[in-house]
Amino acid sequence: MSLSVDFMGIKLKNPVIVAASPLSGDGDMIRKAVDAGAGAVVTQTIANEVRHNVRPRIAANSLGMQNIELYSNLTLEEWEREIYHVKEKDAVVIANILAHTPSEMAYIAKKVERFGVDAIELGISIPHGEGVELLISDMQRLYNLTKMAVDSVNIPVMVKFSPNVSNLTALAKVVEKAGASAISAIDTIRSILGVDIDKAKVMLPTYGGYSGEGIRPIALATIASISQAVKIPVSGIGGIENYKNVIEYMMLGASTVQLCTSLIMNGYGRINEILVDLENWLERKGLNSLDDIRGQALSSLKSFEEISIEPYIAKVNGICKADDCSKCVKSCMYGAISIKNDIIVIDDSKCTGCGLCVSLCNKGLLYLDW
């Protein structure tokens, strides 16, 4: 049994990649990620011009974080030394690069290839500063930039997607047509973390990108849509906290995953925990490789029109004495759940089969077969 995967023709010892961020902001940090067991590391976005970061630029809440970081503070030339430093360790390094025009793209792509990176990720979907997010929605510009990167180098090119677009599958097909070897998704989501109501002031001084647990459902939907639209491999990013999240992404078609916020919040030890748990899970399931689960859940994902209206209703599996929990009773909008003689009872004539109570029951006592 092995966690190794083939991604864009590159053999990775495992599918867990450290995503572009300050965690991969220089050679020393990338080496730490590699030592922690990452299958590969994507550099912080490398641009042709250095723009110094503002302060403050990161704020978190219980579901994730908003950041207004732009990109690496190191120059393109300085990255040569950093990448050399990492490649001494024989690590798989993917350079995340930002360019605004095809000629700039060719210039940066060729340079990072010469520095020795294994692949390139186009970081063209950042939701703050720069206005590059507009770029990813413009099919012709996206095609031209991707094609230029692909034609300029002999290493694989992956394009990083934002969920902040309305024509996602059409855009995915455009980058596939332009010769990209993979698509990664998602970048952060345009956000305002919150307002300090005593000071009447936003938490960070401009719109930023939201990441972490809170964005996972959006990212999963993006990955499923892209996987269904194209044949090239997909790298899932967004709110990955544990091995179960990795499996979710893979079952929706991802070949690799990328982690950022959970590593910032919990440290690199999280990588090894995920790898050990993934191995144990594969063993428990009697599977040899993650290839066996890729895309498995996609067949359960239908278009809305395909879903039939069946007379499903919720059932209690055994007996629930409610104890100190009455989540299902409180949340059933149709008043179908009550406590009678200290046990949970569902009134079949009132249950509309909405399914909410089933997803809320932490003890797994409620079910609805669909």
Residues found near ligand FMN in the complex (CB under 6 A): 19-22, 44-45, 58, 65, 67, 69, 71, 96, 123, 160, 187-188, 211-212, 215, 237-240, 259-262
- Under the criterion CB under 6 A, does residue 109 sit at the interface with ligand SF4? no
Q: Collect all residues with Cβ–Cβ distance below 8 Å to 266 and sequence separation of at least 6.
A: none
Q: Which of 31, 325, 338, 367 binds ligand SF4 (CB under 6 A)?
A: 325
Neighbours of 140 (CB within 10 A): 8
The CA distances from residue 341 to 122, 315, 322, in Å, are: 61, 17, 11
In sequence order, what E strands does 85-237 have?
93-97, 119-122, 157-161, 182-185, 189-191, 195-196, 201-202, 208-211, 234-237
CA distances from 47 to 71, 83, 107, 360 (A): 7, 15, 11, 45
Write the CB contacts of 286 (distance below 8 Å, at least 6 apart in sequence).
Answer: none
Question: What is the distance between the alpha carbons of residues 237 and 211, in angstroms, rounded to a whole number?
Answer: 9
**Strand pairing class (93-97; 16-18):** unpaired
From ligand SF4, ligand FMN, none, which one binds at residue 352 (CB under 5 to 8 Å depending on kind)? ligand SF4
> What residue 298 binds from ligand SF4, ligand FMN, none (CB within 5 to 8 A, per partner kind)?
none
Minimum separation from the CB atom of position 198 to ligand FMN (A): 26
Residue closer to ligand SF4 by CB (options 98, 320) is 320
Q: How far apart are CA 254 and CA 188, in angstroms?
A: 18
Name the minimum Å distance from CB 158 to ligand FMN. Answer: 11
Looking at the Cβ atoms of 22 and 179, the one nearer to ligand FMN is 22
Q: Which residue, 286 or 364, is less far from ligand SF4 as judged by CB?
A: 364
Q: How far is the CB of 11 from ligand SF4 (least distance, A)?
A: 45
Residue 184 CA neighbour count, 13 Å, CB half: 32
Residue 366 found at the interface with ligand SF4 (CB under 6 A): yes
Nearest to 10 by CA among 42, 35, 32: 42
Closest distance to ligand SF4 from the beta carbon of 184 (Å)? 37
> In the bound complex, what is the minimum distance in angstroms from residue 334's beta carbon to ligand SF4?
4
Kindly identify the residues of this chain, within the stretch 3-32, that bind ligand SF4 according to CB under 6 A. none
Nearest distance in Å: CB 319, ligand SF4: 9
Of the pair 84, 334, the CB lying nearest ligand SF4 is at 334
Closest CA to 100 of 158, 42, 144, 70: 144
Residue of the chain from 17, 251, 257, 351 that contacts ligand SF4 (CB under 6 A)? 351
Residue 308 beta carbon to ligand FMN: minimum distance, rounded to whole angstroms: 35
Residues engaged in binding ligand SF4 (CB under 6 A): 313-314, 320, 322, 325-328, 332, 334, 336-337, 344, 346, 351-357, 360-361, 363, 365-366, 368
